[in-house]
Structure 1
Amino acid sequence: MGERGFPQGSPLLRCLAIYGEMPGRFALTAVLLAAVNVALVGQQVMVGHAVQEAQHGRLVAAGPDGVLHYDRAWFWVALLIGLSLARAAVQYGAGLLSLSIGQRLLTILRGRILTQIQRLDLAYHWRHGVGEMVTRMTRDADKVRDALINFWRQIFETGLIVAISLGLLALYSPWLALGPLVLLAIGIGLLWSEADTLVALDRRIGDAYDAVTQDLSEGVNGVRVIKAFSLGEARAERFRRHVDLFRVEARAAIRHACRSIPLPQTIIALSHAWVLGLGAWMVAHGALGLGALVAAMLVVNTLVLRIESIGRLLQVIADARASAARIWEVLDAEPVINSGSAPLPEGPIGFRLSHAAASPLGDGATVLRDLSLAVQPGEVVALVGATGSGKSILTALLPRLVEVDEGRVELGSAETGWRDVRTSDLHALRRRVHVLPQESFLFSDTLAANLRLCAPDATDDELRAALDKAAAGELLARLEDGLETRVGDRGATLSGGQRQRVCLARALLADADILVLDDATSALDAQTERRAIDNIRKLRAERPVTLLIVASRLSTALAADRVAVLSGGRIVAEGTHEQLSQDSAAYRDLMGL
């Protein structure tokens, strides 16, 4: 078993093992399908017996008065019709159950993928695009579901039909069963030999589909940029190229299947000729009855049709094997960052970084090196640095969104002691350290629902108070539906500054001890930004909130208690604005002084 209870082995078989979570439905479906297939062969055997009776004149008999009696004929008709109706009802129930199981499996798979995506750290998401994750949840999961539903309708049923049919033929004559057995083995062997090639082809199709999904996602999410720079035609051409590549790969897979599958199907179909030729010879020599030959032909016809469908199923299985492998690549990925168990210190907390180094992508490209910075509880510190200097990576170290490679990141205070974030409970850590990124992300829901994400029990009055603290109190007056206004996809109905203030209000509702604004007020004017920071300062009277602000404007630096200058992956200067204006050339250059 895998670390999280997933079985190891073939990716598709690992998906099939999820059926173990619904053993009752699985067993019932298997029993019903077995009954359906036994009944099908039974019908064919009954037809053979009816023909045998007709051959001997017992199906329709003449009475002493010369009147024909159809009692025996009506018996077989009633028996066959009754068995057909019963088989149809059972097959209908088995079909519904198999579809239900398939949908349940799809739900389980998608739920596990989503849970795993949330578990994985930011570095994983930076290496893999949105399109790739969406493809795993949609196309790949659907293909696996389709294959496992076909498992019931094709593999399981066909296996039963093969076993029952060959057994019945062997009862009539071992020689009748030998030909189909050999031909089936050759045909299935040829079909199976093509499976790996089809998997490789579908893998290429999946990669091409990832590019299509990623481009589509970027085209929708970046529609404002595309329109602003009149990039519609260029993006459409780029999308067409990705679609064309997907179509080329899909055609290559279809061409290969069309070349490789007909030959084994033809070999399997020769079973008809074997049973008909040998059976006719045996009937002529009295070794086999005519009714038995008819039954044998019906059985082998069903057998050949079922096996021929395996060829079509092979493409589905090959697709699903590739998709299952891609799904398990995500499910088997282990997050670099794992939770500790130690509680954080009670009361107000600050943070300190000691000789910290970080390479966020894990590729050895160090962004921060030998960085030390201490911020006391309740202090407001501005962090300034050139573009690309690693400010966002530094802020991500505090809630362990990114892990340090060297050094320590600690929370606490001189009074309560310091706790290394790597030993702390991750959920508690991220509840008490809230990082507000520059990208103001709002969900496609109401304003109230977005605000309550971190405080689900907050009252409307508390929501309004949080908006006031974020200098967004006047926003409600402009919205016709107030807190129940739907903000659209990513908050599209609000301006950039409004989105930033709503996100700040949401962060304040989280009631964190350390609040990090990663250039999260960049869309605000200086006066509004200062008002929001002053409102946060006032919280000191109730409970000190430690505030780290990534600043790119002089007005932000002026609002802080002190400023830290980041350059070359290190803190190169600290102090008040007045001190740094006198002593730090780097600070003067950054602030344009």
Structure 2
Amino acid sequence: MSHRHPLLRSLAIYREMPWRFALVAGLFVFINLGLVWQQWLIGHALNDVTAGVAVRQQADGSLDGRVAWNWFWLILAVALGRAVLQYAAALGSLILGQALLTRLRERILEQVLRLHLGYHWQHGMGEIVTRTTRDADKVRDALVSFWRQLVETPLVVVATVGLLAWYHPLLALGPLLLTLLGLYIFVLQTERLVELDRAVGAAYDRVNQDLAEGIGAVRVIKSFGLQQQRIDGFAAQVSEFARLARAALRWSSSRIPLPQAVVALGHVWILVIGAQLVAEGRIGVGELVTSLLIATTLVFRIEGIGRVMQTFADARASAGRIWQLLDAPTLIENGPGRLPQGPLGLKLEQVSVSAPGSERDILRQCSLSLAPGEVVALVGATGTGKSLLASLLPRLTDADNGRVLIGNDEGGWQEVRDLQLADLRRRVHVLPQESFLFADTLAANLRLSAPGASDAELLDALHRAAADDILERLPLGLDSPLGDRGVTLSGGQRQRLCLARALLAAPDILCLDAATSALDAIGEQRVLDNLRRQRRHGHAPTLLLIASKESTVQRADRVLLLDNGRIVDSGPHLELLRRNPAYRDLLGIEHE
């Protein structure tokens, strides 16, 4: 479906629930047919009243009101039936709206998790949160109103024009032309409302982003005494959002009454033309009253469109932002291949990667190789692309040029683009410097990498990660909640728990991206020694240690020096110390 109609694309999700959609649509059809029938009955009852048929005087002077009572009970039954159907339809449309909102949010989350890192670097968390909350809610609100405005309104228009035309074609002509003119004015005004809501949505993105940063960086803000500065900045963002929201509301409030007034002129037309037709005897007083009643229903329905026009305009802009996210290319697609059995090694061949949104290469024709089971340290100045290189291994991002190969000499080497992502990420793991723990128990956090792990296996992983002391300090042991992002723990404790989680997955290639930087020298030595002794199916994992401390690189078989986007030197630590002054400077070691 066209990218120009995002709200219709959202509406198309209803195709996934066809029976419920058809049921609710059918209920609205019967409700509006019942409305026309009810007003037709009122007109005919009024004709019987004016003709003296509804209540007759008997020969003995008593009144016979059986006809009037028949009309009363029939009209009441139709009204009660419509009320029941109206309740069922309103409840059904609300349930359908919630089901659509759930599916829309699920797709947003799935897409966010599929998108490559470059997208997340370019778009802030506040923007994505806005798509999932405010924008999705606005789409839901519009599609709940959809039933009344886009299903009921055409039915009311058709029923009104049809009944008026049945009474006399001239009665239908005026309301039809005025209704079409009013709807046309609504359509013209919608474009401006969409533009205004886009500006409001962008301001809301900035509010969300500022709030997320303020909460996430609360320790930094307190440490530097930035509370008032952040409060003032957030207040300015909120004020700008409120200003734009008021401007949108002011514009819609001043424009919406015009088409409503145009449609309301239909009453004047019916009254003038209807009075002439009654005088000429072409229609009765009952038909004129019915015409005015159903015209009133039409006016109320068109006024309802005016009341929700901004809802639809907002939803159209919100749906556009949602589908902009959902249509973003994932870039990282699943391949058909699987990694060979046995230990795995790593090769980069002339790999180049540019910064997201820029043509500047961070890695430039970078080549390196790690033999299966080898422990290699990677060092380089800040900003040389070490973390970007690590993200290439499990395909969190892809190289622009060159090849990233994983495998061994016996089973062959495969380009990571050709591999199944689940198989690749199960056997190749990158542990970033930023330690992230979920607001759950310690056991639940550890089992993320191995859902079937026993308590004994969890304890073993904690031991190998030198995290036994953490467990001893937690009041409920493995069942202790860790708080939001592990807020109850120190940086070094979080790193060790994340390392235990990685070890529990038992990957064949493990890359530690400064993942032991918060550990003291003794703790780091114990962890690295345990890693070297670890065995999976009889072989040790291949370790890539991205490091900046001498205590880390001393434990590597070989050290790679990354500079200007490529590997410029390689060799044992002591050899590089002796011959490479840039290497000594990076580690802060004086030349003897």
Same fold, TM-score > 0.5, yes or no: yes
Compute the displacement of 1:362 (Å).
4.9
Which residue in the other structure is 2:548 paired with?
Answer: 552
Q: Does 1:108 find its partner at 2:103?
A: yes
Residues 83-107 of structure 1: CA deviation (Å, up to 9, x unaligned): 1111111111111111111111111
Partners of 1:411 and 1:419 within 8 A in 2: yes
Residues 542-589 of structure 1: CA deviation (Å, up to 9, x unaligned): 421111111111111112222111111111111112101101111100
Which residue in the other structure is 2:134 paired with?
Answer: 139
Q: Which amino acid aligns with 2:320?
A: A
Partners of 1:51 and 1:290 within 8 A in 2: yes
Q: Which amino acid aligns with 1:547?
A: L
2:369 is paired with a residue whose SS is strand
Which residue in the other structure is 2:584 paired with?
Answer: 588
Of the candidates 363, 367, 383, which is equivalent to residue 368 of structure 1? 363
Q: Which amino acid aligns with 1:230?
A: G
1:474 is paired with a residue whose SS is helix
Partners of 2:465 and 2:496 within 8 A in 1: yes
Identify the range of structure 1 (120-129 vs 331-340) with the bigger mean alpha-carbon deviation. Answer: 331-340
Of the candidates 487, 491, 499, which is equivalent to residue 496 of structure 1? 491
Partners of 1:344 and 1:419 within 8 A in 2: yes
Q: Does 1:566 find its partner at 2:562?
A: yes
Which residue in the other structure is 1:60 paired with?
Answer: 55
Residues 498-526 of structure 1: CA deviation (Å, up to 9, x unaligned): 11000000001111100011011111101
Partners of 2:122 and 2:357 within 8 A in 1: no
Which residue in the other structure is 2:399 paired with?
Answer: 404
Query: Identity percentage over the alignment?
Result: 55
Which residue in the other structure is 2:43 paired with?
Answer: 48
Residues 11-50 of structure 1: CA deviation (Å, up to 9, x unaligned): 1111111111111011111111111111111111111111
**C-alpha distance in 2 between matches for 1:509 and 1:492:** 22
**C-alpha distance in 2 between matches for 1:139 and 1:234:** 27
**C-alpha distance in 2 between matches for 1:464 and 1:186:** 74
Which residue in the other structure is 2:311 paired with?
Answer: 316
Q: Which amino acid aligns with 1:285?
A: E
Write out aligned runs for 1:298-309 (5 A): 298-309=293-304
Partners of 1:382 and 1:550 within 8 A in 2: yes
**C-alpha distance in 1 between matches for 2:16 and 2:421:** 30
Partners of 1:360 and 1:402 within 8 A in 2: no
Compute the displacement of 1:10 (Å).
1.2
**C-alpha distance in 2 between matches for 1:532 and 1:456:** 23
Of the candidates 502, 511, 515, which is equivalent to residue 507 of structure 1? 502
Compute the displacement of 1:414 (Å).
2.9
Partners of 1:378 and 1:540 within 8 A in 2: no
2:272 is paired with a residue whose SS is helix
Partners of 1:360 and 1:403 within 8 A in 2: no
Partners of 1:563 and 1:575 within 8 A in 2: yes
Q: Which amino acid aligns with 1:528?
A: G
Of the candidates 190, 198, 202, which is equivalent to residue 195 of structure 1? 190
Compute the displacement of 1:176 (Å).
0.6
What CA RMSD, in Å, does the superposition of the two structures yield over aligned residues?
1.2
**C-alpha distance in 2 between matches for 1:317 and 1:362:** 33
Residues 387-443 of structure 1: CA deviation (Å, up to 9, x unaligned): 111110111111111211222211122333221112222221111110000110111
Write out aligned runs for 1:15-414 (5 A): 15-414=10-409
Identify the range of structure 1 (295-304 vs 424-433) with the bigger mean alpha-carbon deviation. Answer: 424-433
Residues 162-196 of structure 1: CA deviation (Å, up to 9, x unaligned): 10011000011111111101111111111111111
**C-alpha distance in 2 between matches for 1:331 and 1:406:** 27
Identify the range of structure 1 (534-543 vs 24-33) with the bigger mean alpha-carbon deviation. Answer: 534-543
Identify the range of structure 1 (219-228 vs 497-506) with the bigger mean alpha-carbon deviation. Answer: 219-228
Partners of 1:360 and 1:393 within 8 A in 2: no
**C-alpha distance in 1 between matches for 2:387 and 2:141:** 43
1:454 is paired with a residue whose SS is coil
Q: Does 1:458 find its partner at 2:453?
A: yes
**C-alpha distance in 2 between matches for 1:88 and 1:353:** 70
**Unmatched runs of 5 consecutive residues or more in structure 1:** 2-6
**C-alpha distance in 2 between matches for 1:422 and 1:264:** 57
2:229 is paired with a residue whose SS is helix
Q: Which amino acid aligns with 2:115?
A: L
**C-alpha distance in 2 between matches for 1:32 and 1:103:** 18
**C-alpha distance in 2 between matches for 1:267 and 1:416:** 78
**C-alpha distance in 1 between matches for 2:410 and 2:451:** 32
**C-alpha distance in 2 between matches for 1:356 and 1:36:** 66
Q: Which amino acid aligns with 2:568?
A: V
Compute the displacement of 1:540 (Å).
4.2
Of the candidates 417, 420, 431, which is equivalent to residue 426 of structure 2? 431
1:194 is paired with a residue whose SS is helix
**C-alpha distance in 2 between matches for 1:270 and 1:313:** 21
**Unmatched runs of 5 consecutive residues or more in structure 2:** none
2:377 is paired with a residue whose SS is strand
**C-alpha distance in 2 between matches for 1:421 and 1:22:** 39
Q: Which amino acid aligns with 2:541?
A: V
Compute the displacement of 1:159 (Å).
0.9
**C-alpha distance in 2 between matches for 1:450 and 1:459:** 13
Partners of 2:379 and 2:560 within 8 A in 1: yes
**C-alpha distance in 2 between matches for 1:337 and 1:290:** 72
Residues 276-323 of structure 1: CA deviation (Å, up to 9, x unaligned): 121122212222201111111101000111011111222111111111
Q: Which amino acid aligns with 1:406?
A: N
Identify the range of structure 1 (280-289 vs 324-333) with the bigger mean alpha-carbon deviation. Answer: 280-289
Q: Which amino acid aligns with 1:587?
A: Y
Q: Which amino acid aligns with 1:292?
A: E
**C-alpha distance in 2 between matches for 1:508 and 1:554:** 23
Of the candidates 421, 436, 443, which is equivalent to residue 448 of structure 1? 443
Residues 207-253 of structure 1: CA deviation (Å, up to 9, x unaligned): 11110111111111111111111111111111111111111111111
